[in-house]
Chain A
Amino acid sequence: MIIKCPYCGPRDVIEFTYQGDATRQRPDPASSDQAAWSAYVYDRANPMGSHREFWLHSGGCRQHLIITRDMATHVISSVGFARDAVASVKGGEHP
């Protein structure tokens, strides 16, 4: 799989580290809703199709990326810096 890093250009997947589902919403840190925290920590949708996820270009520019990837075909439809996605959300929360 080739990932087109927004800074480094196309690179082999060996340079990247998968960092998980980017669609999770962290509960309010003050919340004691155990079901919500359990879902945040353990539940993953594992969709057959488009998936939004964090990757780290650990073997290159060392930037965190948000990638939209088709879980069935590995076709990547978008790549961007995670910091841009975070900055674009009001209050700097995870998108």
Chain B
Amino acid sequence: MAEPLSPLGHAFITGDHGNSAGGVGIAITERKNLSIVQVTAWRETVPAILTAISNVTGLSVPDKPGAGRSAGEKSVFGFAPGRYFVVAQASDLEDRLRKAIPLETGTIIDLTHGRMAIRVKGPWSEWVLSKLFAIDFSEHAFPVGFGRATLHHDIHTNIQRIDEETFDLYVFRTFARSFWQTLGHAAAEVGYHVQ
């Protein structure tokens, strides 16, 4: 597999930015070396897909809208009926899913080169993301592990809550640099650290 290059280019500047004098509100990281795969079930095969994903990743996800789970660098979450994002730091993720999921059970598409993964972490993460997306980021509405599909203007984004103050964002790669800069502008108020 060709090694993906970061789409951020000159927009990626490490260090503290914005109003960070009083502390850093969030840290923004580009998650690298990931395989990002979309798995889609047929109408009757959702339980079989979830079993197959569990066998491949070790992450067991209930059949509920938006449900998901993460452990270390691995993540799984639903973002539409019968559709799941499966993410892992393993270049053979697509192959393993293909072996576990025959066409009768579902379809698989490798999005590794089509998406960029951004991790937003910090006490002000809900506040900053609420500026960009018209969804409820409070933990009772958006529990840990769950995923959401939404958009910032026309930039479609899949979001998973990793813990109380951490979110992973998956954006189209061609929009990633623009989105990264927008995220920086939104976070300038609370100060942010790029690492």
Contacts and interface: CB of A to CB of B under 8 A. Distances in A.
A79 to B, nearest CB: 13
A15 B66 contact: no
Contacts of A7: 65-66, 80-81
Interface string B104-136: 000000000000000000000000000000110
Contacts of A85: none
Contact of A62 (B80, B135, B148): B80
A62 B38 CA distance: 14
A-side binding surface: helix, strand, loop or mixed?
A: loop
B149 A61 contact: yes
Determine the interface band of chain A, counting residues with CB < 8 A from chain B.
10 to 19
A50 interface: no
Given A8-B65, A11-B134, A11-B135, A59 B80 contact: no
Interface in A1-49: 6-9, 11-12, 14-15
A63 B80 contact: yes
Interface string B77-107: 0011101000000000000000000000000
Contacts of A12: 134
A61 B81 CA distance: 7
A87 to B, nearest CB: 9
Interface string B155-193: 010000000000000000000000000000000000000
B150 A11 contact: yes
Q: Which 6 pairs from chain A and chain B are nearest by CB?
A: A61-B80, A59-B151, A12-B134, A7-B65, A60-B149, A7-B81
25 contacts: A7-B65, A7-B66, A7-B80, A8-B66, A8-B148, A8-B150, A9-B65, A9-B141, A11-B134, A11-B135, A12-B134, A15-B151, A59-B149, A59-B150, A59-B151, A59-B156, A60-B148, A60-B150, A60-B151, A61-B79, A61-B80, A61-B81, A62-B80, A63-B80, A63-B81
Given A9-B65, A61-B79, 13 more contacts: A7-B65, A7-B81, A8-B149, A11-B134, A14-B134, A15-B150, A59-B149, A60-B80, A60-B148, A60-B151, A61-B80, A61-B149, A62-B80
